[in-house]
Amino acid sequence: MVILNKGSKLYSILFNLCPKCHEGRFWKTNNPFKNILLKNSESSISCETCLIKYELEIGFWYGAMYISYAIGVALMLFLWGVLSFFFPLMDVLLLISLVVIGILIFSPINYHISRLIWINIFIKYQPKD
């Protein structure tokens, strides 16, 4: 698939790779849950391969919250839609609780992927020659 080849932004986002060289890791571990459980929730400071500093400016990561918010809302709507489609008579409070639980369970993945999306907006792939 062309869209998942090295050089595409999706490749960097899905495989936790540096947005510039697509070789070094962005997060220290590929597992978002491990990141949170080990309280190791910071991304690497810089790429070990191309040495680019990930935090482009002070407060850069605040922007990732917009991405995270959009993913959270999309997930909420998706869960709401799926649950009310399959269980049309479900109590609204139970429905809300299940949606909140779903968002909480997904939140480490959301945090993980939103920073990757955010930095990929600003940094282009530049293969090392």
Interface residue list for Zn ion (CB under 5 A): 18, 20-21, 24, 47, 49-50
Residue with tokens 């779903």: 102
Please state the closest distance from residue 17 (CB atom) to Zn ion, in A.
8
Burial class (CB in 10 A: 0-12, 13-18, 19+), 18: buried
For Zn ion, give the closer residue by CB, 17 or 64.
17
Q: How far apart, in whole angstroms, are the C-alpha atoms of residue 120 and residue 115?
A: 8
- List the beta bridge partners of residue 25: 17
**Cβ(45)–Cβ(53) below 8 Å:** yes
Token pair of 36 as six digits: 């949170």
One-letter amino acid identity for 31?
N
By beta-carbon proximity to Zn ion, the closer residue of 16 and 110 is: 16
SS3 content of the chain, % helix, strand, coil (to 5): 55, 5, 40
**CB of 124 vs Zn ion, minimal distance in Å:** 12
Nearer to Zn ion, 18 or 67 (CB): 18
* Closer by beta carbon to Zn ion, 12 or else 110: 12
